[in-house]
Amino acid sequence: MPSLFSSLLLGDLELPNRVVMAPLTRMRSRQPGNVPTALNATYYAQRASAGLIISEATQVSQQGQGYPATPGIHSEEQVKGWQLVTDAVHDAGGRIFCQLWHVGRISHRSHQPANGLPVAPSAIKPSGGTFSADWKQVAFETPRALETVELRGVVDDYQAAAENAEAAGFDGVEVHGANGYLLDQFLQDGSNKRDDEYGGTIENRARLLLEVVDQAVSVWGAGRVGVRLSPYGTFNDMSDSDPVGLFSYVLSELSRRRIAYAHIIEPRASLAGGQEGTNSDAPRTSEIFRSAFTGALISAGGYNREDAMRVVEQGVADAVAFGRLFIANPDLPARLERGLALTPYNRATFYGGAEKGYTDYPFAAQ
């Protein structure tokens, strides 16, 4: 019987345990330039006992940025910054994938090239708002719908980012297709009203995600590529009229490509960590979609020790990703395995800042 603490072959990579560090936006890259630093390297190296670290969401282009101080992987300086991180993680015995990200409409013109409008599949303004480049709260704007001829350039940006991730020393890449960002906006019919080959049918709406995945595979090989999805997720004003049909198709296509893993966010945590607690009445997508994907499945969203152990032992998931608990417990795998008390996290220090709430959380031995 598999255990949360047993090894796992994830594509081409052997993991020593099945406790995955989820991608966690922390907004601590060096400015200007959105460049990872030695402080970021320390933070990730502290958590190298994870079976796999998935980096914070990392924009593939300037157009893909939506929040201040999030790192990119589209400049030479950013690649060198990420090399500090990957070297530190590898020196500590860890493994790390880079999560490739384009926020689409979840942005503000202050983040965009030449102060242009954010882009999206369709010109539909999401509810809510974000932070501008100078950290001011601003409402979302009505985005500009991408022209069909522009989409090749978006795919090319992902390919370049995958190549840069390889140059930076990562062990693989995760394509971010979740949480209401650009690829998810194309997938779901609440945000995609296009009438070209990227809109309408499920097959058309999935086209951009699959093109991006194919380019990542062309760089890395299928065994070093994962994809994150959020079926039933409502974060960033998302909805779809047939989530089972949509995501079953997507997962079947990802199975056909034999990628390393699918990383599925449970809808009980659909607000992406933005509030405490979970929705216990939400459907369990790891169970709904387990049969749709033939490869390794990582499940994320609101897990505690007992629930994580159960889903792995029952074969519902092959690994479990933890987010907020990993922020406050750099040695989380050991704490979970030994049943030790967990340090509570400080939400006020999640975004921005320096060492406080980032690299100063204690290890159990301390």
Catalytic residues: 181
Distances (CA, A) of 90 to 22, 96, 297: 18, 8, 24
Residue 288, token pair as written in the block: 């709904």
**CA angle 25-5-288, nearest 5°?**
65
User: What is d(CA 197, CA 158) in angstroms, rounded to the nearest whole number?
Assistant: 20
Neighbours of 284 (CB within 10 A): 16
Using alpha carbons, select from 279, 284, 243, 238 the residue that is nearest to residue 265. Answer: 284
Residue 11 exposed, middle or buried by CB count within 10 Å (0-12, 13-18, 19+):
buried
Residue 101 exposed, middle or buried by CB count within 10 Å (0-12, 13-18, 19+):
buried
How does DSSP assign 179-244, residue by residue?
TTSHHHHHHSTTT----STTSSSHHHHTHHHHHHHHHHHHHH-GGGEEEEE-TT--TTT---S-HH
User: What is d(CA 130, CA 79) in angstroms, rounded to the nearest whole number?
Assistant: 26
Neighbours of 353 (CB within 10 A): 14
| R_g of the chain, CA atoms, integer Å | 19
User: What is d(CA 231, CA 39) in angstroms, rounded to the nearest whole number?
Assistant: 34
- In degrees and rounded to multiples of 5, residue 265 shows phi and psi of -90, 130
